[in-house]
Amino acid sequence: MAFPGTGLIWMNGKFVEWDQAQIHVASHVIHYGSGVFEGARCYDTRNGPACFRLDAHIRRLIDSAKIYRMEVPYDQQQISDAVVDLIKRNGFKACYIRPLVYRGYDSLGVNPFPCPVDVAIMLWEWGAYFTKEAIEEGLDVKISTWARNAPNTMPSMAKSVANYANSQLIKMEAILEGYAEGIALDTDGNLSEGSGQNIFIVRDGVIHTPPVGSSILSGITRDSVVTIARDLGFDVREQVLPREMLYVADEVFFVGTAVEVTPIKSVDKIKVGRGRRGPITEALQQRFFDIVRGDAADTHGWLQHLETPQAATSGSSTRR
Ligand code: PMP
């Protein structure tokens, strides 16, 4: 399937047509993976389009850049404003949001410092990452032969483009072996995360997820699901989890901006629980979707509403 992109892309403060948004092949990022990025979503809620936790995503973008000693020439507010402006100009109601900070064109030594730090923001309409069937019934996954990056190698807290070389190895292996997704362990053999999603396990009504020290990306959906679960009265524990917890779990599910909340029905061909979506997964999924669709109260202030061009002219702005 060809990339479905259309509309404008924001590049260093300018709005550029999708087909014109190009960089030079000698850009540092292409050769050495010197870039950090984000993936957020704008939902078409019952109160109009709204970005989900955009502030948290842009903060993580700035944090990722800081870890890699990149001085971003825009602050958090300017990038957030640019995202909102771009969504409005493109007239999207629901879209995936991809800000990217990268080392551009200057020289091709490994030393990145001479290269400029460039910023781009692109949007595209992207529905569910897995099928509707998967969201209701669950995925068949395998534990990858590839581990996540060891501590003190590639920082997993930074959402760096370079980390996704490891993600691609995990994803390709899973696909070629007939699975929807792979789960990586950390280099100690404990549970880490999927190629692009965090993981949760339920056993005896208690919800577990690996801690930030288990080579995971500190996911914003993970944080939201922990909060939602605690709001619903569940006991949630962030703790180091051995691989075999997956095999004896009552429920296992992935979370992430792209996958939202997606159940897992088997791991390494071992059935999870009864081999279908469990009740706690379903309750958390329901709550998550209710919040992002605007059907439940946004008690944590996660939705940033934006006026559509139409609403702007009729004066019914809901933007905060
Ligand atoms: N882990 C990895 C490796 C990811 O790429 C993602 C997606 N950004 C996640 C976890 C989930 O993070 P979030 O909920 O912030 O999208």
Tens of pLDDT, residues 235-252: 999 999 999 999 999 999
* pLDDT value, residue 129: 80
pLDDT tens for each residue of 264-305? 999 999 999 999 999 999 999 999 999 999 999 999 999 999
Q: How close is the Cα of 60 to the center of ligand 1, in Å?
A: 11
Check pocket membership of 285 for ligand 1, CB cut-off 6 A. no
Handedness of CA 42, 44, 49, 50 (dihedral sign): negative
* Helix (H/G/I), strand (E/B), else coil: 117: strand
Identify the residue with better confidence: 41 or 1.
41
Instruction: Determine the residue of 217, 225, 227 to mutate for testing ligand 1's pocket, defined as the one with the most ligand atoms within 8 A of the Cβ atom.
Output: 217
Ligand 1 close to Cβ of residue 220 (< 6 A): yes
Is 269 annotated in the active site?
no
Half-sphere exposure of 248 (CA within 13 A, CB side): 7
Q: Is 312's pLDDT higher than 80?
A: no
Position of tokens 């390709």? 172
pLDDT of 318 reads: 38
- Categorize the per-residue pLDDT at 176 as very low, low, confident or very high, splitting at 50, 70 and 90: very high
Residue 298 has which token pair?
Answer: 């946004």
Q: How far is the CA of 217 from the centre of ligand 1 (A)?
A: 6
Ligand 1 mean position to 315 CA, how many Å? 36
Average pLDDT of the residues in 66-89 = 98
Q: Which pLDDT belongs to residue 317?
A: 38
Buried (b) or exposed (e) across 112-122, using 16+ Cβ within 10 A? beebebbbbbb
pLDDT at residue 131, rounded to an integer: 84
Ligand 1 neighbourhood includes 219 CB (under 6 angstroms): yes
- Ligand 1 neighbourhood includes 39 CB (under 6 angstroms): yes
What is the per-residue pLDDT across 94-108, written as a single tens digit (0 to 9) for each?
999 999 999 999 999
Per-residue confidence (pLDDT) for residue 132, from 0 to 100: 85
Q: Is the CB of residue 279 less than 8 Å from the CB of residue 57? A: no
Residue 291 main-chain phi, psi, to 5 deg: -65, -50
194 CA to centre of ligand 1 in angstroms: 9
Percentage with pLDDT > 70 across the chain: 94
Confidence check: pLDDT of 230 > 70? yes
Provide the pLDDT for residue 4: 66
**The two three-digit tokens of residue 62, written as one number:** 């700035």
Give the Å distances, CA to CA, from 257 to 52, 83, 118, 131, 150: 9, 16, 24, 15, 24
Average pLDDT, whole number, for the chain? 94
Strand partners, 181: 141
Taking residues 157-174, what's their average pLDDT? 98
* Fold held by 132-277: D-amino Acid Aminotransferase; Chain A, domain 2 (3.20.10)
Question: Which residue's CA is minimally distant from atom 9 of ligand 1?
Answer: 197
Ligand 1 atom closest to the Cα of residue 216 is 1
Statement: residue 307 has pLDDT above 90: no
Which residue has the least CA distance to atom 7 on ligand 1? 196
**For range 12-24, the mean pLDDT:** 97
Stretch 226-236: mean pLDDT: 98
Torsion of CA 220, 281, 194, 149, to 10 degrees: 60
Residue from 100, 225, 257, 284 to probe ligand 1 pocket by mutation (most atoms less than 8 Å from CB): 257
Do you know the residue count of the chain? 320
Residue 51: per-residue pLDDT: 98
Q: Closest Cα to atom 2, ligand 1: which residue?
A: 196
Is the pLDDT at 143 greater than 50? The verdict is yes
Scored b (16 or more CB within 10 A) or e, 156-187 reads bebbbbbbbebbebbbebbeeeebbbbbbbbe
Domain locations along the chain: 8-124, 132-277
Q: How far is CA 287 from CA 161, 273, 291, in A?
A: 31, 22, 6
- If you search the block for the tokens 């056993």, which residue do you land on? 203
Q: Which position has the token pair 């002219």?
A: 313
> What pLDDT is attached to residue 2?
63
- Average pLDDT of 253-260? 96
Q: Is the pLDDT of residue 320 over 90?
A: no
182 lines ligand 1 (CB under 6 A): no
At residue 303, the pLDDT reads 98
Please give the Cα distance from 80 to 87 (Å, whole number): 11
Say what the pTM is.
0.94
β-pairing, 181-185 vs 139-143, is parallel
Residue 146 has pLDDT above 60, yes or no: yes
Average pLDDT over every residue of 249-266: 97
Question: Which of the listed CATH numbers 3.30.470.10, 3.40.50.150, 3.40.50.720, 1.10.3720.10 matches domain 8-124?
Answer: 3.30.470.10
How does pLDDT run across 32-75, given as a tens digit for each residue?
Answer: 999 999 999 999 999 999 999 999 999 999 999 999 999 999 99
Q: What is the structure's pLDDT at 295?
A: 96
Among residues 136, 73, 130, the alpha carbon closest in space to that of 258 is found at 130
What confidence category does residue 218 fall into, taking pLDDT thresholds of 50, 70 and 90?
A: very high
196 Cα: distance to centroid of ligand 1 (angstroms): 5
What is the whole-number distance in angstroms between the Cα of residue 103 and the centre of ligand 1?
22
Let me know if 240 is exposed, middle or buried by CB neighbors in 10 A (0-12, 13-18, 19+). middle
Please give the backbone phi and psi of residue 70, each rounded to the nearest 5 degrees, phi first.
Answer: -100, 125
Q: Which residues contact 97 (CB under 8 A, 6 or more apart)?
A: 38, 39, 40, 41, 42, 51, 54, 57, 83, 87, 121, 123
